[in-house]
Amino acid sequence: MEPLHDDDPAEVGPYALTSRLGGGGMGQVFLGRSPGGRPVAVKLVRAEYAADDGFRRRFAAEVAAARRVGGFYTAQVVDADPDADRPWLVTAYVPGPSLQAAVTGHGPLPPAAVRTLGAGLAEGLAAVHACGLVHRDLKPGNVLLADDGPRVIDFGIVRALEAASGTRSGVIVGTVAYMAPEQARGDREIGPPADVFALGSVLAFAATGEPPFGRSPAAPVMYRIQHADPDLTGVPAELRDLIAACLAREPGDRPAVAEVLRACARRAASATGGCPPRCRP
């Protein structure tokens, strides 16, 4: 979190902005306050995208889809204006570090915490998939560690499965180190198994501090994702089979999120006498 810059707006729609939370390829994220004083996360789209009518249509569709997603492990969309001069999206504010920041600052999570993390993320993805959506960009930076469990955030890249036919073949959406082979190939059809693959990569990062196919440059990482086995060196033995299954090269060979949820929840409960630990470090 950092102070607002001189050229940042003081408000977006009815929301007063107080500080910067971060940014990404699509826009800047601010901490804001609702008219009633509730803290919210406000995502303001970059100016260069606002002039693109095609982008606006996609953004509007993604906002409509994101409003349908509920559950305990997602940050819910509470407001948006796809027609504003610079389109914006508001979600519930989740206090807590990202998984990326937590692992970078404090080191890998212990196995029991990784299992609890996996259970929460699998439940969050199940809520996304139940609405006929695919997140497509699950990564450590899009996972927040709240006191009561993880939250899957940033539905700015979520695509409705039924709209997949409108995506041109060869267009790649996602973060290279965590994308599935079918995303790296630019396949037209991207389904829930791609999120399972990303989940496996995120859990490997949580357990070791490194993504299983390396960090950069992008081209070698994309090649390894499509043709090489993941490097699970350092992944505790009790987690390795589950993570390896999620990282199967063929989408049909990966477990469903419900299977991942059952496996993580069962092992977390058995390891703690029925009371899973919080995953925040």
Alpha carbon separation from 217 to 25, 142, 195 (Å, rounded): 18, 21, 22
pLDDT given for residue 71 in this prediction: 85
d(C-alpha 126, C-alpha 73), whole Å: 10
Round to whole Å and give the CA distance between 184 and 221: 9
**Residue ranges of the chain assigned to CATH 1.10.510.10:** 99-271
pLDDT digits (tens, 9 = 90+) for 228-249: 999 999 999 999 999 999 999 9
Q: Is the confidence at residue 211, as pLDDT, over 60?
A: yes
pLDDT in tens, 149-191: 999 988 645 443 333 234 444 445 568 999 999 999 988 888 9
Structure tokens at 184: 């790296």
Residue percentage of the chain with pLDDT more than 70 = 87
Sign of CA dihedral 145, 281, 257, 197: positive
Distance CA 70, CA 36 (A): 22
Fold for 11-92, please state it. Answer: Phosphorylase Kinase; domain 1 (3.30.200)
Multiple choice CATH, 99-271, 3.30.70.20, 3.40.50.10540, 3.90.1150.10, 1.10.510.10? 1.10.510.10
Backbone φ, ψ for residue 163 (5° rounding): -95, 0
Nearest to 277 by CA among 144, 142, 118, 70: 118
**Mean pLDDT, the chain, as a whole number?**
87
Each residue of 15-71: pLDDT tens digit?
Answer: 999 999 988 767 899 999 999 999 999 999 888 878 888 778 888 888 888 888 888
In 74-142, the DSSP E strands lie at: 77-81, 88-92, 133-134
The pair of three-digit structure tokens given for residue 110, joined into one six-digit string: 């212990």
pTM for the full predicted model: 0.86
Ranges for all domains in the chain classified under CATH 3.30.200.20:
11-92
How distant, in Å, are the alpha carbons of 27, 43, 227, 232, 281 from that of 24? 5, 10, 28, 28, 25
Return the DSSP state at 235: S
pLDDT score of 200? 98
Segment among 35-49, 127-141, 171-185, 264-278 with least mean pLDDT: 264-278
For the cut 80, the answer to whether the pLDDT of residue 267 exceeds it is: no
Could you list the active site residues?
137
